[in-house]
Structure 1
Amino acid sequence: MSADLLDAVNAALAGKWDRAHAIVQRDEDDPFACWLHAVLHKIEGDAGNSRYWYARTGHSYGEFADAQQELAAIKRELESGRRDER
């Protein structure tokens, strides 16, 4: 799933919300997919849905002020292999 999640992050960074969303919906039990799902709904402006997905991760809605910075943080963690530690 890591390659798919990297694809989803890259899609989100490129403004391809629908593509990124379709990818993260494939694995709703993966903490990184849930984190990315949360950020996508934050970008969309759906705070309630975003908070639902954040509740399934080790992160919070207010942890990052900027969604682009949060997407970059997700990408760094996926690329570093830290996703396996969760």
Structure 2
Amino acid sequence: MDATALAESARNDANPPVGLTPTELTLWLARAGKWDAAHDACQDLSEPAGAWIHAYLHREEGDYGNACYWYTRARKPAPSRNAPLEAEWMEIACALCV
């Protein structure tokens, strides 16, 4: 599933589509506002993908220091505190949903 379809599903559907990969499911949960479930799921993903989603979730939570730790583990530069979360989610999803 591509990033745009995944975002649309998370915005409109009560449940994730059947057949998502673990990474897609984690991104779906994050976009659907199911932070705790997404946080649990990202910890089961291999790095660096899981760490990148983990970083995003902590930035969304407002814990920038913890997010920076996870960006380092993901080998990604930390965006500024005020960078748009929606744009970052789309960047991650485009990179990981291939």
Would you say same fold, with TM above 0.5?
A: yes
Counterpart pick for 2:96 among 57, 75, 78:
78
Query: Could you tell me the percent identity over the aligned residues?
Result: 36
For normalisation by structure 1, the TM-score amounts to 0.80
* Higher helix fraction (1 or 2): 1
1:1-86 superposed matches below 5 A: 3-27=21-45, 29-62=46-79, 65-80=83-98
Q: Which runs of 5+ in 1 are unaligned?
A: 81-86
- Larger Rg: 1 or 2? 2
What RMSD, in angstroms, separates the aligned Cα atoms of the two structures?
1.9
Deviation at 1:13, TM superposition (A): 0.8
How many residues are treated as equivalent by the alignment? 78
For normalisation by structure 2, the TM-score amounts to 0.71
User: Within 1, Cα distance between the matches of 2:95 and 2:40?
Assistant: 21
Q: Which runs of 5+ in 2 are unaligned?
A: 1-19
Deviation at 1:74, TM superposition (A): 1.2
